[in-house]
Each structure stands twice: as structure tokens, then as C-alpha cells.
Amino acid sequence: MRTKMVAGNWKMNKTLQEGVALATELKKAVKNPKCEVVIGTPFIHLATVAELLKGSPIKVAAENCADKASGAYTGEVSAAMVASTGAEYCILGHSERRAYYHEDYDILREKVLLALENGLKPIFCIGEVKEEREAGRQNEVVRAQLEGSVFNLSQEEWKNITLAYEPVWAIGTGLTATPQQAQEMHAYIRSLIAEKYGKEAAENTTILYGGSCNAKNAAELFANPDVDGGLIGGASLKAPDFCTIIAAR
């Protein structure tokens, strides 16, 4: 049975104090979740929030890491540094990183390898933009993203990968993919994994849906056989909403 998961992605929101308050609220509310619960926070929150969540089932993720191991890269944060905070996961390949910070397949391949080398579990995001969906190119886009940055991994390394299908047109727009669109794409992604790593690996891979997933639509999305949970942006910033989504999984 593959891991079911609800992961938050706070993005560039919350001061340290606000983040600590939200994590404290979540720690109180999330006691015996039926799924893996992860919160992705800005770098500056990681150490404090990881410490605060000790003894809680909630795990911590970074939202990014550097594509270099260490050295003269002013302002960057390495995978080793992230791991040293107590974070267990690292969101990589988010469409905002791809679009605004020009993270291409090669850069992301390096980041994924460094995350794995340092014991972090990548939550690797893929998904097409609106024009690509309108042109019916979503499958080829997602395939290229996988081939470009993660299908180089060994069978052993693959076991630590979680995928998040996030159609870019659905992120922060209120335009959620329909449960059918999500299921179709998740099943397609699983078929690609089966081709590359075999059926068992495909069955064991957690594939999250992300893009305007919220307290109202989560249950309907998660009811699909290939949708193993969600990567939640906006709705992860309010504890009651995030808890409703966790309960829906």
C-alpha cells in the first residue's frame, strides 16, 4: 500500500512568528492522521518548526534547495543545510520555481540528486500550463518533465520520490482540475513509472494533486484511485482548512 499524503506549501507567506503560530495550531489539531502530513515552509522557519513538531506526526519540508552542494553561492541554501534542520522532505520543481527562477530540467536533476544524497525525500512537481492543456499537449509535457529530471534515478532512489501533479492553470487560480482530469493524468503518470521502473514501483509511488485543492473539493479529488493526496498552497495557510483536507484523505 502506497503512502497517502497531504502536504502544505506555504510559499513566501508568514513571518517566523506567524509560521510558529500556525505550526503550533496544527500540532494541537493533528494527533492521529490517517495519512502522512507534511508542511512545506520557507527556509527560515525550518529549524524552529521542525523542533516544535518533535513528537508530532507532522513532518517538515523545505520548498527548495540549491543545485550545488556547498561553497561560494551567496544566498543559497544547500540540501545538507535543509537536512540539518530536521526537515525530512523537499519540494522541488514547483512551477513557480520553473517559471520565475528559470529552473530547467538540468538544474532540477541536480537538486533532486543532492536532496536524495542528503537523506531528503523530494516532492517533485510536474504539470502543464494552460496553453499546453488547450493544445492537448499535457501528457507530452509531463513525460518530458519526468524524463528530464527524475527518470535518471536508480530503482532504489526512486523509492524516496513523491510526485505532485500540479496543472499550472489550476495553481492559485481557483480553477481546480476536475476529478476526472486529475485521475486521467495520475493514471497516465503511473503508467510512465510502470514503463520505467516496473509495475510494483508504480503502484508504490505516491502521486499528489495540487492546484486550488481546498477544504470543499479535496474529498472529491482524493476519491480517485490514482490520487494519493494533495499538495496544498493557499488552503494550507489556515489551520482549520488544512485540517479539513487532512481529514478528507
Catalytic (active-site) positions: 94, 166
Non-local (6+) Cβ contacts of 57 within 8 A are: 30, 31, 32, 33, 37
Cβ proximity to ligand PGA, 103 vs 197, nearer residue: 103
Measured between alpha carbons, how far is 229 from 208 in angstroms, rounded to an integer?
5
Q: Which residue is nearest to ligand PGA (CB)?
A: 233
For the CB of residue 156, give the shortest distance to ligand PGA in the complex, in Å.
27
User: ∠215-217-222 over CA atoms, to 5°?
Assistant: 100
For the CB of residue 170, give the shortest distance to ligand PGA in the complex, in Å.
6
Which one, of 92, 86, 150, lies nearest residue 122 by Cα?
92
Give the DSSP letter string of 165-179: E--GGGTTTS-PPPH
Task: Give residues in contact with ligand PGA (CB under 6 A).
Answer: 9, 166, 171-172, 210-213, 231-235
Cβ proximity to ligand PGA, 172 vs 198, nearer residue: 172
Cell numbers linked to 112: 533532486
For the CB of residue 69, give the shortest distance to ligand PGA in the complex, in Å.
26
- Across 229-249, b (16+ Cβ under 10 Å) vs e yields bbbbbbbbbebebbbbbbbbb
For the CB of residue 159, give the shortest distance to ligand PGA in the complex, in Å.
23
